């Protein structure tokens, strides 16, 4: 009887272990669609060498793909969604003085490779295209969470990096010191499984 | 705009144009070559004014609005040849037509690449160039009209949040003002110079309209000053009084003022942007 009980427990454990492995593999692979509402791109520039000026882009979209736990990203930001809480400033940022939204309506980041460098931290190598110029970009991407809830399976990532805007042909106010050449960018992504 | 920027973006192009024009008084004394000095002055000042903002233009340009300066340079090359063919000096209409064709081929602003826009550019350059300088109009008329219209377009560009175009049009307006003063001081032949200013005016207007999708500046405001140039020429020919030149300029300034005032009335109060 004791032998039979042990066998039964062993079978249950074996099945539960196999099921758990399958679930874990599903969780670490698959395509996720970036949620525009809960994703944000914030930028910060030094204004007149005095204060820090913040703005954000409200329309961040794209796809996150998890392959055996490693993420890949295709992120697109609509330039005309720039929001500084000042309409006049928004228009100026959209003009050819800065982003030239008429000619270059989106800014994109496409990753090429990623490697895990720590607990939920990844070094992601890719290319950023902004203002018609494409440059390589390596970012440190932190996985902020992965859950399954009533909205399905969701994943979140966040990164922080600095861009030199003159490298993208965006030189307005650099020489005069009106606005800094280096712009700090924070991108926070939330995505739901497709 | 601080004093250093005024010197850089406006002072340098004006100084360059003034120096070239004054040098040409000595270097090009022959009557049929006198206008060449003014043509070179405007052409070089255009390149300098643009380069101070964006660096030297590349071909093809990295941004479509750079076609503005490339068009002026293409027309500049054509205009430089003109004074050497003295027998053609009176063919203002043909000259304006060729400049219009060149401009309609080169100017490629966003959303303006259809055939209709090309025709529109051709006719605008044609009428503005002819309006700036008919044979009987006093030569200073060309400069004073260019001065005020480019200044108007500079203000409109600023209202449309396109500061680089505003600086560019503003500096070319200052160049026209300087040339007006020099023309009063020492009157010289100005044939063909109207073509360059015509292309500059049409280019700045079309460019401003193309990069203002939210219509911060009413569409007609970009084109009214151009219509004012042709209207000024018509007023000059219709007036029989000795003040006809003044009436002609007054007609143009009315259009310019209406354009600027209407734009300001349409806008919400302008809060401070970048300095």
pLDDT tens per residue, range B213-247: 888 899 999 999 999 999 988 888 888 888 888 89
Tell me, what DSSP letter sits at residue A49?
A: T
Tokens of A135: 């440059």
What's the confidence (pLDDT) of residue A27? 53
Residue A103 in contact with partner chain B when CB distance is under 8 A: yes
* Per-residue pLDDT band at B158 (split at 50, 70, 90): very high
Mean pLDDT of B253-263: 93
Backbone angles phi, psi at B113, to 5 degrees: -100, 10
**Residues 6+ positions from B100 with CB-CB distance below 8 Å:** B121, B122, B123, B124, B125, B126, B129
What's the confidence (pLDDT) of residue A106? 95
Contact A102 B4 (CB under 8 A): no
Reported as a single tens digit per residue, the pLDDT across A117-131 is 988 999 999 999 999
B161 CB neighbours in chain A (<8 A) are 88, 91-92, 94-95, 97
Give which of A84, A97, A168 to mutate to test B binding, by max B Cβ within 10 Å: A97
Instruction: State how far residue B125 is from chain A, nearest Cα, in angstroms.
Output: 24
Question: Which contacts (CB < 8 Å, 24+ apart) does range A90-93 have?
Answer: A91/B160, A91/B161, A91/B214, A91/B216, A92/B161, A92/B163, A92/B273, A92/B274, A93/A55
Instruction: State how far residue B99 is from chain A, nearest Cα, in angstroms.
Output: 26
Mean pLDDT of A21-36: 69
Distance CA B66, CA B189 (A): 30
Which chain A residue lies closest to B8 (C-alpha atoms)? A176
> Is B250 in a helix, a strand, or coil?
helix
**Residues 6+ positions from B82 with CB-CB distance below 8 Å:** B39, B88, B89, B95, B191, B192
pTM of the model as a whole: 0.87
| Mean pLDDT estimate for chain B | 88
What's the confidence (pLDDT) of residue B260? 93
Better pLDDT: B258 or B4: B258
What's the confidence (pLDDT) of residue A114? 93
* Per-residue pLDDT band at A17 (split at 50, 70, 90): very low
Query: Is B243 within 8 Å of B251 (Cβ atoms)?
Result: no
Tell whether the model's pLDDT for residue A54 goes beyond 60. Answer: yes
Contact A179 B274 (CB under 8 A): yes
B129: enclosing H helix or E strand: helix B115-132
B271 CB neighbours in chain A (<8 A) are 86, 88
B111 CB neighbours in chain A (<8 A) are 102
Mean pLDDT of A91-103: 93
Reported as a single tens digit per residue, the pLDDT across B190-213 is 778 889 999 999 999 999 999 988
Distance CA B118, CA A122 (A): 51
Contact B275 A103 (CB under 8 A): no
> Is B189 in a helix, a strand, or coil?
coil
A86 CB neighbours in chain B (<8 A) are 271
Q: Which of A102, A169, A171 sits opposite B211 (nearest CB)?
A: A102
**Chains A–B, number of C-beta pairs less than 8 Å apart:** 61
Query: Is B172 within 8 Å of A107 (Cβ atoms)?
Result: no
3-state secondary structure A104-125: CCEEEEEEEEEEEEECCEEEEE
Which chain B residue lies closest to A91 (C-alpha atoms)? B161
Q: Which of B110, B164, B275 sits opposite A178 (nearest CB)?
A: B275
Tokens of A128: 């950023």
| CATH superfamily of this structure's domain A29-193 | Lipid/polyisoprenoid-binding, YceI-like (2.40.128.110)
Residue A132 in contact with partner chain B when CB distance is under 8 A: yes
Which residues sit opposite A46 in a β-bridge? Answer: A52
CA distances from B6 to B158, B162, B210 (A): 15, 17, 26
Contact B162 A179 (CB under 8 A): no
Question: How many residues belong to chain B?
Answer: 275
């Amino acid at each position: 009887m004791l032998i039979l009980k042990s066998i039964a427990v062993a079978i249950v454990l074996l099945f539960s272990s196999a099921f758990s492995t399958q679930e874990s593999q599903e969780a670490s692979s698959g395509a996720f669609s970036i949620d525009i509402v809960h994703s944000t791109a914030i930028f910060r520039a030094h204004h007149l060498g005095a204060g820090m000026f913040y703005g954000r882009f409200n329309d961040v979209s794209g796809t996150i793909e998890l392959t055996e736990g490693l993420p890949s990203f295709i992120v697109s930001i609509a330039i005309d969604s720039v929001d500084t809480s000042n309409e006049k400033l928004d228009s100026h940022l959209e003009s050819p003085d800065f982003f030239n939204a008429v000619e270059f309506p989106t800014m994109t980041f496409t990753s090429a490779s990623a490697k895990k460098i720590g607990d939920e931290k990844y070094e992601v190598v890719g290319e950023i295209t902004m203002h018609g110029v494409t440059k390589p970009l390596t970012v440190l991407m932190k996985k902020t969470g992965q859950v399954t809830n009533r909205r399905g399976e969701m994943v979140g990532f966040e990164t922080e990096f600095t861009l030199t805007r003159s490298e993208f042909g965006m030189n307005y106010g650099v020489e005069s010191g009106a606005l800094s050449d280096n712009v700090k960018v924070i991108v926070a992504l939330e995505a739901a499984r497709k | 705009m601080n004093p250093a920027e005024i010197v850089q973006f406006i002072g340098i192009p004006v100084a360059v144009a003034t120096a070239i024009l004054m040098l040409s008084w000595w270097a090009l004394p022959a009557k049929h070559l006198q206008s060449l000095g003014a043509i070179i002055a405007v052409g070089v000042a255009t390149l300098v004014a643009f380069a101070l903002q964006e660096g030297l233009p590349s071909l093809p340009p990295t941004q479509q609005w750079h076609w503005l300066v490339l068009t002026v340079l293409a027309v500049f090359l054509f205009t430089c040849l003109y004074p050497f063919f003295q027998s053609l000096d009176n063919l203002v209409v043909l000259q304006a037509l060729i400049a219009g064709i060149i401009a309609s081929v080169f100017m490629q602003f966003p959303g303006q690449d259809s055939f209709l826009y090309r025709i529109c550019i051709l006719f605008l350059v044609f009428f503005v160039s002819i309006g700036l300088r008919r044979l009987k109009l006093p030569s200073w008329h060309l400069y004073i009209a260019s001065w005020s219209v480019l200044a108007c377009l500079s203000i409109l560009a600023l209202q449309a949040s396109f500061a680089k175009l505003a600086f560019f049009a503003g500096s070319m307006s200052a160049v026209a003002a300087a040339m007006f003063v020099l023309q009063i001081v020492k009157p010289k032949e100005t044939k063909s110079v109207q073509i360059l200013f015509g292309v500059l005016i049409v280019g700045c207007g079309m460019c401003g309209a193309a990069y203002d999708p939210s219509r911060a500046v009413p569409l007609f405001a970009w084109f009214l000053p151009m219509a004012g140039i042709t209207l000024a020429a018509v007023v000059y020919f219709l007036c029989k009084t000795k003040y006809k030149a003044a009436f002609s300029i007054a007609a143009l300034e009315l259009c310019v003022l209406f354009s600027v005032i209407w734009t300001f009335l349409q806008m919400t109060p302008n809060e401070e942007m970048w300095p």
